[in-house]
Structure 1
Amino acid sequence: MTKISARFPVVDAQVSPTGRMEVLSRTEAARLSSQGHGGLRELFRNCALAVLNCGNPLDDGKELLARYPDFEIHIIQRSRGIKLDIRNAPASAFVDGTMIRGIQEHLFAVLRDVLYVSREAEGTAGAVPARFDFGTSEGITDAVFQILRNAGIMQPVIQPSVVVCWGGHSISGAEYDYTKRVGYELGLRGLDICTGCGPGAMKGPMKGAAIGHAKQRIGKARYLGFTEPGIIAAESPNPIVNDLVVFPDVEKRLEAFVRTGHGFVVFPGGVGTAEEILYVLGILLHPANVDHPLPLVFTGPKSAEEYFRRIDGFIAETLGDEARSRYRIIIDDPAAVAREMQGGVAKVRSFRKEYRDAYYFNWLLRIEHEFQQPFRPTHANMRRLRLSHNQPRHLLAADLRRAFSGVVAGNVKNDGIREIEQHGPFEIHGDAGIMGPMDALLSSFVAQGRMKLPGTAYNPCYTVVSGKPEVTRS
């Protein structure tokens, strides 16, 4: 039933499972119905609302919750399986009162992942101990693997083909069209797409690849979408994604990208895209990964050349030429991007075959604990960041990544927005030789309208300060 009188039209509905969540145990249903269990009920509700908000132009997690305060979702336990009873859901998720199939699949993927991660991270009190060990690097990597396996992502017999596409959810029409052109060229070459699953540069490559795959009669193409609870409201999954996975935090999501992907294409974006670039470069700069092939291309239309010039300049001034040697910049040439990926993926296959590493999960890549530990963007934690050249380049990249992650949180994540509202802008301290380029880069994002959706006024959530406060790292 659609309620037209609401400010934002909403629908009541009951939906049955798709995928692998046909039944729940009584314990699982109770965990999702209880106010306890570490907020599991609220987590599922908020992620479900984000999925149902697909297609609506909104990149503010706090605003989404305020826009649909009466949204409810409950488990109906039946002898022949479960249903979800949904009240006051965004009407855009439905066609003539029936939920769009892709959104329905995503809804039950959220249910699957929220339950699985909660159970394996917490265990069952008095019965089953926790299986995930988030205290060690190896334990975190194993958890990422198990989350992916539980979601059915692992396909051992498939040859390397996954191209991770990163870029902004808020991009111009010309940039969006370009991402579709690149996706089309990748699809013609039989390459699959993995993105952050949202709109903009995450949706465009999938749309383009779908046409390329159709022309080549590729019937089982993969469109993987990786997200996490903090960002899903700002980047609601687009329905082209046919395998959605929700990770517990951004760090495990980022590790999943580099463990699963065989090549990376970066489109224009904003501070979140810069965070992703710094993450992958930091890993590639680790001495143990120096010979590890992982093709990385920055690309966009001619109008985006200035954006990548700024990114390249920032990397040169902070991480140096070694980092710059790990990527190529290709402007306004989708076919060249696809050929670069095709050749790079072939090298990845040869390397994995030679060293007997899996095609479906990059076990050999060394990822330090610094890159895996969840970073909670608070004012104190942002001030503690070690933004100094007096440390190995890969560790500097890790802290630069955290700084940009804090800005992302302050821009679009519910918790980050509330932190800024209560205590004012984050202060980012560091060496003048780093703070100057960072300030210039962030200012260019603001000037280019890359911090918020078009037409939305941007109020900076950060202040860049040269000089490091005297604090010790906890």
Structure 2
Amino acid sequence: MAKRNTTNASVSPKGSLETLSQREVQQLRETGCGSVYALFRQCALAILNTGSSSDNAKTILEAYPDFEVRIHQQDRGIRLELLNAPADAFVDGEMIASTREMLFSALRDIVYTQSELENKRVDFESSQGITDYVFHLLRNARTLRAGVEPKIVVCWGGHSINREEYKYTKIVGHELGLRGLDVCTGCGPGVMKGPMKGATIAHAKQRNVTGRYLGLTEPGIIAAEAPNPIVNELVILPDIEKRLEAFVRVGHGIIIFPGGAGTAEEFLYFLGILMHPDNKDLPFPLILTGPRSAEPYLQQLHAFIGATLGEEAQQRYQIIVEDPAQVAREMARGIKAVTQFRRERNDAFHFNWLLKIDESFQRPFEPTHENMAGLKLTRDQPVHELAAQLRRAFSGIVAGNVKVQGIRLIEQYGPYQITGDQSIMRPLDRLLQAFVDQQRMKLPGGSAYVPSYKVVA
């Protein structure tokens, strides 16, 4: 990405952090330095760069080497001074409203949340403590709304899908919106944008002015996949594991569209949770769908699950091809079952406390070459634990594809080595090669994909 046109600007809060005490402002200024500042700068640049065709965080950072963001105190709160910011984020000198909202959401989540929560006693040593932390992050972002009937549909899928698949996601989103359902995605392009775009039209048709388009992301992802402008609630979780837990705690059903390694990671994460014995009877609708042209992809993913996790795992989801209305009907029906289940057990509608998530799904995984080589991809473990290990393998591949640190590690040490039982490695290699052949590892039109991994049986 070549260096782009830039501008300087001063902006005040909108959507988050409008009312702060002087002590809170001082906390923000003190926390907004060092490594925390570098993280906020990276996320702020990604937000200001919304609409970029690049999915390489390192390239985006290099395109704006002189970008700076400074936090200033004023009587009514805070003000951000932006130096050498992307000019496309402004219209006639004014920052686009959605961009400004998301910019202060980033400040809230990265700086404010860290300064507030990490100064308190947060128990990161237990599964319940981590869940409580995720709850507090979401509550601080005003995401949790007590008393609202379940209607949040999480849509997972690739950022590098083709035009036909993208149109299909919009039609599904439209069908969801017509039935009064809201959409939650990873907030970027592709599948993260299409369902939201379709739902906005359907909500307008139904005169639904309270439609929610919730985007959940994390710093390593947002830097490579800038938020799409439809998102009206942005939450940045500290790492991929807490982001994934946030999806399944606030969502009431999940739809998986065609994607690549990141989609497989999300799918394995959720399947592993559903396969835990404590979640056996817990209703949570899960649907795989796509246009007719994507049926081979859906069947490849289905076959991979069968070969690695078994038939019982395959029974936890439906596959619906080329039928958006049926997808929405099945999702609405499934969410009704979720609503009834939670009523009977007095569980909250806004946060799924009854869902059992093991620590193996919550602990952050650092995709170093040593950790990737040390993954336990063998059959001598419970199936939900194998799913957790496979999820980490795909997480590392995603990092090597699009995250700054992962890209640098691959440049320095070469591709990750992934080893395990032959009965697992062969299906894994077939699935990954299919992703490469179908150009599901990078945005269409970009440079040729160079694998960040090597599968060794």
- TM-score category of the 2 structures, normalised to the smaller one: over 0.9
Task: Confirm or deny that 1:27 pairs with 2:26.
Answer: yes
Residues of 2 paired with 1:250 and 1:424: CA distance? 23
Letter in 1 for 2:73: Q
Matched, 1:173 2:173: no
Give 3-state SS (helix, strand or coil) of 1:230's partner. helix
2:361 is matched with 371
**Greater shift in the superposed pair: 237-246 or 75-84:** 75-84
Stretches of 4+ aligned residues off by more than 2 angstroms: 22-27, 29-35
Correspondence for 1:423: 413
1:59 aligns with 2:55: yes
TM-superposition CA deviations, 1:389-408 (whole Å, max 9, x none): 11100000000000000000
1:45-82, Cα deviation, whole Å (9 max, x unpaired): 11111111100111111111111101110012112222
Q: 1:305 aligns with which of 287, 295, 303?
A: 295
The one-letter amino acid paired with 1:458 is Y
1:282 aligns to what? Answer: 272
Read off the aligned partner of 2:29 and give its amino acid letter: A
**Within 1, Cα distance between the matches of 2:95 and 2:179?**
33
Residue 16 of structure 1 deviates from its aligned partner by 1.1
* Alpha-carbon shift at residue 132 of structure 1 (Å): 2.1
CA separation of 1:368/1:120 partners in 2, compared to 1, >3 Å: closer, same or farther? farther
Match of 2:192 in 1: 202
SS of the aligned residue for 1:459 comes to coil
* 1:457 and 2:456 are equivalent in the alignment: no
Question: Which SS does the other structure have where 1:142 is aligned?
Answer: helix
- How far did 1:120 drift? 4.1
C-alpha separation in 2, matches of 1:439 and 1:121: 41
Pairs within 5 Å for 1:120-135:
120-123=116-119, 130-135=120-125
The sequence identity of aligned pairs, in percent, is 60
RMSD (Å) for aligned C-alpha atoms: 1.1
Please state whether the residue corresponding to 1:298 is helix, strand or coil.
strand
Residues 405 and 355 of structure 1, relative CA distance in 2, 3 Å threshold? same
Q: Give the conservation status (yes or no) of the 8 Å contact 2:69–2:81.
A: yes
SS in 2 for 1:75: strand
Code of the aligned partner of 1:58: S
Equivalent-residue separation in structure 2 for 1:144 and 1:113 (angstroms)? 12
Q: Deviations over 1:386-445 (max 9, x none)?
A: 101111000000000000000000000001001111111000000000000000000000
1:443 to 433, 437, 440: 433
Provide the TM-score with structure 1 as the length reference. 0.94
Name the SS of the counterpart of 1:416 in structure 2: helix
| SS of residue paired to 1:435 | helix
Letter in 2 for 1:118: Q
After superposition, give the CA deviation of every residue in 1:294-334 in whole Å (9 maximum; x if it has no partner): 00001111111111111001000000011100111111110
The alpha carbon displacement at 1:91 in A equals 1.9
Secondary structure in 2 aligned to 1:231? helix
- Code of the aligned partner of 1:434: I
Instruction: Report the alpha carbon displacement of residue 258 of structure 1 after superposing the two structures with TM.
Output: 0.4
Query: For residue 17 of structure 2, what is the amino acid of its counterpart?
Result: M
Deviation at 1:196, TM superposition (A): 0.3
TM-score w.r.t. length of structure 2? 0.97
In 1, the alpha carbon distance for the partners of 2:59 and 2:274 equals: 37
- 8 Å Cα contact 2:16/2:101 also seen in 1: no
The 8 Å contact of residues 253 and 284 in structure 2, kept in 1 or not, is answered as yes
Q: CA deviation at 1:143?
A: 0.4
Pairing 1:119–2:115 present: yes
Shift of 1:458: 0.6
The number of residue pairs the alignment matches comes to 452
Which residue of structure 2 lines up, in the alignment, with residue 396 of structure 1? 386
Question: Letter of the aligned partner of 1:136 in structure 2?
Answer: S
Q: Report how far residue 30 of structure 1 moved.
A: 2.9
**Aligned counterparts of 2:184 and 2:32: Cα–Cα separation in 1:** 33
- Mapped to 2, the partners of 1:340 and 1:30 lie a distance apart of 48
Q: CA deviation at 1:96?
A: 2.1
Q: Secondary structure at the match of 1:87?
A: strand
How far residue 92 of structure 1 moved from its aligned partner, in angstroms, is 2.0
Range that drifts further, 270-279 or 17-26: 17-26
Query: 2:305 is matched with which residue?
Result: 315
CA distance in 2, matches of 1:454, 1:309: 22
